[in-house]
């Protein structure tokens, strides 16, 4: 296992779905940031299951505790250890899964890799619950980036076959406040809710796409050749369980364009160098160009479905089938929005420190 990410802003995840807590340790955070439990709570609330259609009935208050690195509501530069307790734990439903791996889940490869000592309760380290830790680290990263004007936010752009219309930045920024789907297009949001409800009533699940923007990123983040913006951000985004695709700017669409169409022309705008469109997603040669960084993450449908699925019995070596009980989300996309935002913030915060944009002490 490797539970740390980042070179200068180092985030280490710990905790299990049904252990005493899930948490995160942030080493390398600049000193002088305002930070307290209230700052963390806002993002944690967005990750909670409450209110979102098709969300798991497991309800956790997710009240954060900061146990180091903060004095008088201000970061000191020391490592910040943060955690939320696990209170609503119901482990029995998982015990029968040991021999019949759930399709689409980590059960089988994790079982082979980690063997009999692995914590199986509620998915253990493979549960989406550990992203509560990611979100707390993301809140810290966003606060750090905000000190140099960088703003990061994500929104839902598709659920199953429902695509949101293109929106202006101001609307994308407000998406998470507008509806439980964090979708900036209200009509699409309504349709998405119906798609999720339909899947849920079938005992099935759906996926979607989350887009994340970083605004006011100065030119120069990214450390080519091997730590380009795309390399570092995609590394972080792929740490989110269920992400199976990551693209920047026009992404896969660029593959079918011609160079004259895909290139973003430069133009002066109020004495600043800008591009007239942003198909590059704000990154050229692996380095931020000064335009918004735009990344999209494809999130597969939740693999836990109550419909019967074919699997194998590892004990007997025979084929069998499985209906998954327990408490699951029919669609995790709305809850993943703030997680995508967190991982984007964590990775850009690391690059901002490495580029000298973000200093160790906030003046």
Per residue, what are the HEC states of 92-153?
Answer: HHHHHHHCCCCCCCCHHHHHHHHHHHCCCHHHHHHCHHHHHHHHHHHHHHHHHHHCCCCEEE
Q: Rule CB under 8 A: say whether 219 interacts with a second copy.
A: yes
Pick one of 90, 224, 323, 325: the residue that binds a second copy (CB under 8 A). Answer: 224
Distance CA 254, CA 354 (A): 29
Contact criterion met (CB below 8 Å) for 160 and 204: no
Task: With contacts defined by CB under 8 A, name the span among 37-45, 135-143, 158-166, 184-192 that binds a second copy.
Answer: 158-166
In the complex, least distance from residue 341 CB atom to a second copy, rounded to whole angstroms: 17
Contact criterion met (CB below 8 Å) for 333 and 128: no
Cβ contacts of 178-182, under 8 Å, gap ≥ 24: 180/51, 180/52, 180/53, 180/334, 181/52, 181/53, 181/156, 181/333, 181/334, 182/46, 182/154, 182/155, 182/156, 182/334, 182/337, 182/338
Number of residues that bind a second copy (CB under 8 A): 148
Q: Rule CB under 8 A: say whether 161 interacts with a second copy.
A: yes
**Closest by Cα among 286, 301, 275 to 248:** 286
Q: Show contacts with a second copy in window 113-142 (CB under 8 A).
A: 113-115, 117-119, 121, 124-126, 130
In the complex, least distance from residue 137 CB atom to a second copy, rounded to whole angstroms: 11
In the complex, least distance from residue 347 CB atom to a second copy, rounded to whole angstroms: 11
Q: Show contacts with a second copy in window 333-362 (CB under 8 A).
A: 354-356, 359-362
Q: Rule CB under 8 A: say whether 196 interacts with a second copy.
A: no
Q: Show contacts with a second copy in window 234-293 (CB under 8 A).
A: 234-236, 238-239, 241, 243-268, 271, 273, 275-276, 280-281, 284-290
The backbone torsions φ and ψ at residue 155, rounded to the nearest 5 degrees and listed phi first, read -155, 160
Q: Rule CB under 8 A: say whether 299 interacts with a second copy.
A: yes
Q: Rule CB under 8 A: say whether 35 interacts with a second copy.
A: no
31 bridge partner residues? 361
Q: Rule CB under 8 A: say whether 53 interacts with a second copy.
A: no
Task: With contacts defined by CB under 8 A, name the span among 34-42, 66-74, 144-152, 182-190 that binds a second copy.
Answer: 66-74
Contact criterion met (CB below 8 Å) for 357 and 229: no
Q: Rule CB under 8 A: say whether 14 interacts with a second copy.
A: yes
In the complex, least distance from residue 57 CB atom to a second copy, rounded to whole angstroms: 18
In the complex, least distance from residue 204 CB atom to a second copy, rounded to whole angstroms: 5
Instruction: Spell out, one character per residue from 79 to 118, where the chain touches a second copy: x when CB under 8 A holds, - when not.
Output: xxx-x-----------------x-xxxxxxxx-xxxx-xx
First-to-last C-alpha distance (Å) of the chain: 37
């Amino acid at each position: 296992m490797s539970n740390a990410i980042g070179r200068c802003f180092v985030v280490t995840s710990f905790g299990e779905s049904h252990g005493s807590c899930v948490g995160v340790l942030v080493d390398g955070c600049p000193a002088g940031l305002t930070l307290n439990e209230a700052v963390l709570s806002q993002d944690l609330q967005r990750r909670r299951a409450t209110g979102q259609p098709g969300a798991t009935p497991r309800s956790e208050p997710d009240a954060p505790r900061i146990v180091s690195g903060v004095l008088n509501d201000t970061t000191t530069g020391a490592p910040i250890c943060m955690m939320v307790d696990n209170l609503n734990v119901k482990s029995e439903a998982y015990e029968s899964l040991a021999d019949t791996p759930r399709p689409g889940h980590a059960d089988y490869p994790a079982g082979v890799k980690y063997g009999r000592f692995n914590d199986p309760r509620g998915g253990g380290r493979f549960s989406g619950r550990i992203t509560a830790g990611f979100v707390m680290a993301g809140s810290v990263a966003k606060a750090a980036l905000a000190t140099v004007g960088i703003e990061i936010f994500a929104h839902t752009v598709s659920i199953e076959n429902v695509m949101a219309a293109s929106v202006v930045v101001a609307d994308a920024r407000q998406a998470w406040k507008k509806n439980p789907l964090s979708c900036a297009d209200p009509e699409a949001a309504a349709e998405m809710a119906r798609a999720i409800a339909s899947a849920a009533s079938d005992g099935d699940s759906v996926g979607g796409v989350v887009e994340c923007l970083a605004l006011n990123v100065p030119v120069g983040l990214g450390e080519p050749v091997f730590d380009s913006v795309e390399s570092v951000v995609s590394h972080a985004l792929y740490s989110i369980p269920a992400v199976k695709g990551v693209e920047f700017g026009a992404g896969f669409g660029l593959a079918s364009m011609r160079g004259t169409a895909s290139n973003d022309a430069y133009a002066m705008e109020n004495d600043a160098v800008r591009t007239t469109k942003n198909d590059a997603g704000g990154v050229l040669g692996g380095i931020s160009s000064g335009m918004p960084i735009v990344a999209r993450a494809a999130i597969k449908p939740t693999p836990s479905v109550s419909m019967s699925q074919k699997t194998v019995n590892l004990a007997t070596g025979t084929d069998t089938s499985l209906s998954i009980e327990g408490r699951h989300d029919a669609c995790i996309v709305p809850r993943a929005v703030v997680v995508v935002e967190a991982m984007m913030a964590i990775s850009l915060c690391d690059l901002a420190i490495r580029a000298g944009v973000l200093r160790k002490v906030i003046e």
